[in-house]
């Protein structure tokens, strides 16, 4: 593996040609250069700027937005430890420290010989088989001390990643409870034939409406209403987008669906295309799932060969549709549908001002239906079994089944499919969790549920969820859980609006201050004030929900915070002793005389 | 007769297509704002203009005006939020008003005074943001940047030059210059550019003209910013062109 300091024009031309010299493909082009060369140098930016007629600074701005793209050499081997709380609970921090020691490198820095960099990244979606890491974008699971040591050795020997033991890269599906979707064995094409049998395309939308299907990405908007609004919106083209940017920490159901039921996902998208009159669709696949790309491309090709994609699908005149896979590059915010569309257009993934909404002004300002991976699966099944049969599953306002991604303190983590309405307690029993103190439902932006609420039900009427279910037993410190989530939001804020850009950093600082033992009652009040500002003034859901982990844990586990506070009502944020750390480092001193410890004095 | 909405109990007329902010300013009603500029499409990033519309908090600069809306703006609950947002901006950058030549003409400072921001409120982040003094006539002091993107928009939409762009993400987001060297001297910026005129704070400065107005005669010495609403009234009816350089703009 050689890091090229200069990417030659021939290579760039080939990539540009592959993407039709389209500025909309900028992110895909940058991602390919990153994969090929290890980083994107100024020469490549200037070259692209000329060819695509985009200002160089704007290209740099796009590259700098995404965590997996580098503007500076970042090492021949770029190791990123997944930093979700579930990885930490399995010892990821210690493993990372070990690897840093072994390879003589500081976290977040490139080794002096340019060989390796080691850092953390947001949840990689391997919570049921963690701790996990990415090396040059490829996922490695089940980390142990031994495995970490072996990886260090392979890096030191400069072994090509394709020659590393295949076992390292094995990703398990861990399906623990299967149902409507995961148990699906209906042949590809049957769903489309069922749709044809409904007669007119408006009957497809009508069936989806009557099925009661609601979006599985978390917000729970009626899928039928969305498709109808999109179909009715005027535009030169309509688009279908499948949101597989599964970034919510603790969620990994889409990974399993794309592994096991890719045809069902694509068939749902094709149904949607038929219903809204789209000829082109996108699957926005998160960069962390890069390893799925080849198998998904193969699945698409099989569908083209079987006339399930392409022209006159299944012989229906004028029914033309195809799907393109767009890879993300490490930005949680792109799970927000308008940010996702910006990213599809090759831009920084910043949520748009709404209205207008994507159903009328989405990709390239045309009507666009954006739905979650699981939603497309459910839609296909609803069409096949009929609205009435589908409506009979689940609860009155939450029809059908839901995939739950279980991780954390339980012996059987993995994917569980239930009809909507299952209680938290039932899931806990099925996964074998004991002495559970709390469950984080639907990820950091969701709800932290304490024991007295375990009777609550997973459904839109009670506890809505995008699927994450992280279990914490009585050995866990819920303050540390909340602090991990606050760090996550600060890292993933797009930086567009003041409250989220600055507020998430202030929240992080305050939580760190409390963690270091310098917190006071004043800091708790500040946390509550920040929560209020974030909730009321943020541009999008990220900022508005960024304080949920703190609010919920403060509500249920206030002692976890208060035990850490000083008895003082106020202590300045400025840490006198801490400010001398650099001087200590420079002089090589760490004795008592080099500290200003007022308590011991 | 045009339709109206209610703003703090007063009827405000509006034209179709106007936002709450545009209609309010046109009628001489002030709503605090930083990233909004009458000649550009509303951006909605600073959130200073947050109002309550029928009980829901929204940015007034991007909220389409509708007949019968009940908009609350000048209430303590919202001014408290605005105070915190101004404090956040002061803590995020490196703002030293006494030595800044934009002092007295700075919108952030004027808002601070007008909203009665008496303390920093937060721990300062003290970011490391080197200045760019490479250009013979123009100084860029990024320390004061509040990321309103007005210069990005002006350079792209009006000047047709794309001198500025945004880079980074979250708290590391920052303004950059469109040159391989990253330096302003290697761009085609000119003193007469719109981008030179729109910075609400002291980032983009003409060299050698600082402190030309004596204290007491500067824009916000004379009247507080809230009394200057009409100065910021919409001046162009069709400032709705989309801007590919802007974030958040469709």
Q: CATH 3.10.20.600 occupies which residues in chain A?
A: 403-476
B209 touching A (Cβ < 8 Å): no
pLDDT of residue B233: 78
Mean pLDDT of A565-576: 72
Identify all chain A residues contacting B146, using CB atoms and an 8 Å cutoff. 498
What 3 state SS string does A166-185 have? HHHHCCCCCEEECCCCCCCC
The CATH fold of domain A78-172: Glutaredoxin (3.40.30)
In angstroms, the CA A291 to CA A257 distance is 14
Mean pLDDT of A254-268: 98
The CATH fold of domain A176-391: Rossmann fold (3.40.50)
Per residue in A503-535, pLDDT tens? 999 999 999 999 999 898 888 888 889 999 999
Residue B241 has pLDDT above 50, yes or no: no
Which of A 537-566 lie inside 8 A of B, CB atoms? 537-539
B62 touching A (Cβ < 8 Å): yes
Mean pLDDT of A410-419: 98
Per residue in B170-196, pLDDT tens? 999 999 999 999 999 999 999 999 999
Task: Tell me which of B210 and B106 has the higher pLDDT.
Answer: B106
Pinpoint the alpha helices (H) of A408-497.
Answer: 424-430, 478-492
Distance from the B230 Cα atom to the nearest Cα atom in chain A, whole angstroms: 25
- Residue range A403-476 in CATH 3.40.50.1860: no
B52 touching A (Cβ < 8 Å): no
pLDDT of residue B186: 97
Q: CATH 3.40.50.11540 occupies which residues in chain A?
A: 176-391
Residue A99 has pLDDT above 90, yes or no: yes
- Which residue, among A430, A428, A373, has the nearest Cα to A402 in the 3D structure? A373
Identify all chain A residues contacting B117, using CB atoms and an 8 Å cutoff. none
Q: Would you say A529 and A535 are in contact if contact means Cβ atoms under 8 Å apart?
A: no
Point out the residue among A58, A503, A573 whose CB comes nearest to the CB of B165: A58
Chain-wide mean pLDDT for chain B? 92
Per residue in A419-452, pLDDT tens? 999 999 999 999 999 999 999 999 999 999 999 9
Residue A113 has pLDDT above 50, yes or no: yes
Judge: B166–A61 Cβ closer than 8 Å, yes or no.
Answer: yes
Q: Would you say A324 and A363 are in contact if contact means Cβ atoms under 8 Å apart?
A: no
Residue A601 has pLDDT above 90, yes or no: no
Residues 6+ apart with CB under 8 A from A169: A138, A139, A140, A141, A291
Per residue in B185-227, pLDDT tens? 999 999 999 999 999 999 999 999 989 899 999 999 999 999 9
Q: Would you say A256 and A407 are in contact if contact means Cβ atoms under 8 Å apart?
A: no
B177 touching A (Cβ < 8 Å): yes
Q: How crowded is residue B210: how many other Cβ atoms within 10 Å of its Cβ?
A: 14
Judge: A496–B42 Cβ closer than 8 Å, yes or no.
Answer: no
Mean pLDDT of A170-198: 97
B171 touching A (Cβ < 8 Å): yes
Place A219 in a pLDDT band, splitting at 50, 70 and 90.
confident
Q: Angle at CA B215, nearest 5°, toward B214 and B216?
A: 105
Judge: A496–B247 Cβ closer than 8 Å, yes or no.
Answer: yes
Place B245 in a pLDDT band, splitting at 50, 70 and 90.
low
Of chain A, the percentage scoring pLDDT greater than 70 comes to 97
Of chain A, the percentage scoring pLDDT greater than 90 comes to 88
Identify all chain A residues contacting B57, using CB atoms and an 8 Å cutoff. 536-537
List the B10-14 sheet strands across, edge first: B10-14, B3-7, B70-72, B50-53, B56-59
pLDDT of residue A414: 98
Chain-wide mean pLDDT for chain A? 94
Identify all chain B residues contacting A46, using CB atoms and an 8 Å cutoff. 180
Judge: B88–A58 Cβ closer than 8 Å, yes or no.
Answer: no
Q: What are the beta bridge partners of residue A285?
A: A244, A327
Residue of chain A nearest B51, judged by CA positions: A537
Which of A 344-373 lie inside 8 A of B, CB atoms? 348, 350-353, 355-356, 361, 365
Judge: B173–A505 Cβ closer than 8 Å, yes or no.
Answer: no
Judge: B47–A497 Cβ closer than 8 Å, yes or no.
Answer: yes
The CATH fold of domain A480-562: de novo design (two linked rop proteins) (1.20.1440)
């Amino acid at each position: 593996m050689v890091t090229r300091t200069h990417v030659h024009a021939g290579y760039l031309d080939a990539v540009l040609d592959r993407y039709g010299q389209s500025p909309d493909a900028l992110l895909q082009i940058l991602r390919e250069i990153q994969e090929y060369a290890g980083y994107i140098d100024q020469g490549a930016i200037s070259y692209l700027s000329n060819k695509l007629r985009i200002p160089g600074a704007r290209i740099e701005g796009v590259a700098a937005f995404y965590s997996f793209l580098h503007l500076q050499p970042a090492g021949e081997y770029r190791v990123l430890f997944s930093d979700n709380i579930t990885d930490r609970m399995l010892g990821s921090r210690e493993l990372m420290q070990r690897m840093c020691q072994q390879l003589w490198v500081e976290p977040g820095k490139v080794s002096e010989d340019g060989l390796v960099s080691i850092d953390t990244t947001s949840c990689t979606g391997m919570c049921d088989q963690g701790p996990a890491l990415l090396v040059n974008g490829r996922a490695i699971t089940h980390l142990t001390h031994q495995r970490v040591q072996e990886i260090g050795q392979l890096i030191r020997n400069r072994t090509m990643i394709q020659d590393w033991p295949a076992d390292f890269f094995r990703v398990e599906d861990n399906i623990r409870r299967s149902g409507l979707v995961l148990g699906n064995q209906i042949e590809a094409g049957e769903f489309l034939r069922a749709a044809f049998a409904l007669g007119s395309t408006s009957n497809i939308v009508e069936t989806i409406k009557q099925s009661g299907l609601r979006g599985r990405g978390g917000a729970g908007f009626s899928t039928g209403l969305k498709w109808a609004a999109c179909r009715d919106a005027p535009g030169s083209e309509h688009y279908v987008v499948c949101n597989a940017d599964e970034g919510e920490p603790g969620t990994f159901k889409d990974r399993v669906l794309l592994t096991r039921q890719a045809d069902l996902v694509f068939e749902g998208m094709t149904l949607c295309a038929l219903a809204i009159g789209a000829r082109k669709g996108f699957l926005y696949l998160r960069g962390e799932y890069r390893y799925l790309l080849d198998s998904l491309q193969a699945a698409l090709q099989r569908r083209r060969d079987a006339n399930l994609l392409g022209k006159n699908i299944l012989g229906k005149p004028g029914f033309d549709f195809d799907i393109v896979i767009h890879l993300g590059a490490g930005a949680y915010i792109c799970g927000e549908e308008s940010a996702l569309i910006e990213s599809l257009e090759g831009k920084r993934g910043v949520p748009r001002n709404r209205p207008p909404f994507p159903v009328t002004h989405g990709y390239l300002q045309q009507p666009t239906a954006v739905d979650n991976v699981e939603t497309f699966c459910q839609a296909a099944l609803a069409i096949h079994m009929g609205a009435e049969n589908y409506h009979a599953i689940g609860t009155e306002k939450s029809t059908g089944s839901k995939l739950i991604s279980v991780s954390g303190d339980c012996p059987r983590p993995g994917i569980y499919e239930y009809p909507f309405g299952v209680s938290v307690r039932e899931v806990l029993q099925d996964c074998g969790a004991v002495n559970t103190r709390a469950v984080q439902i639907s990820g950091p932006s969701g709800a932290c549920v304490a024991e007295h609420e375990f009777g609550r039900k997973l459904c839109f009427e009670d506890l809505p969820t995008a699927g994450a279910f992280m279990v914490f037993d009585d050995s866990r410190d819920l303050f540390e859980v909340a602090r991990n989530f606050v760090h996550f939001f600060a890292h993933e804020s797009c930086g567009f609006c003041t409250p989220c850009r600055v507020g998430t950093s202030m929240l992080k600082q305050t939580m760190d201050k409390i963690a270091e033992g310098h917190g006071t009652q004043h800091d708790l009040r500040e946390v509550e004030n920040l929560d209020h500002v974030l909730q009321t003034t943020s541009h999008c859901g990220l900022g508005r929900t960024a304080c949920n982990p703190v609010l919920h844990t403060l509500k249920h586990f206030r002692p976890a915070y208060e035990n850490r506070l000083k008895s003082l009502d106020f202590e300045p944020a400025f840490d006198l002793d801490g400010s001398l750390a650099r001087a200590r480092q420079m002089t090589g001193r760490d004795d008592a005389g080099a500290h200003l410890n007022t308590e011991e004095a | 007769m045009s339709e109206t909405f209610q703003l703090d109990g007063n009827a405000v007329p509006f034209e179709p297509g106007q936002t709450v902010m545009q209609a309010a300013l046109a009628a001489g009603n002030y709503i605090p704002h930083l990233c909004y500029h009458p000649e550009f499409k509303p951006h909605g990033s600073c959130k200073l203009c947050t109002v309550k519309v029928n009980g829901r908090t929204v940015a007034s600069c991007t909220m389409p005006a509708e007949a019968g809306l009940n908009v609350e703006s000048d209430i303590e609950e919202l001014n408290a939020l605005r105070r915190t947002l101004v404090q956040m901006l002061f803590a995020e950058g490196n703002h030293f008003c006494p030595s800044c030549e934009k002092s007295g003409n700075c919108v952030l400072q004027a808002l601070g005074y007008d909203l009665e921001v008496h303390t920093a409120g937060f721990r300062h982040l003290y970011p490391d943001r080197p200045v760019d003094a490479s250009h013979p006539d123009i100084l860029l002091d990024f320390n004061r940047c509040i990321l309103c993107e007005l210069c990005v928009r002006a350079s792209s939409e009006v000047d047709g030059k794309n001198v500025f762009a945004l880079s980074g993400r979250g708290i590391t987001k920052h303004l950059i210059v469109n040159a391989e060297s990253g330096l302003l001297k290697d761009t085609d910026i000119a003193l007469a550019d719109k981008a030179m005129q729109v910075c609400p704070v002291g980032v983009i400065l003409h060299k050698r003209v600082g402190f030309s107005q004596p204290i007491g005669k500067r824009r916000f010495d004379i009247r507080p910013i809230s009394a200057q609403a009409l100065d910021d009234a919409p001046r162009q009816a069709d400032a709705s062109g989309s801007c590919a350089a802007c974030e958040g703009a469709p």
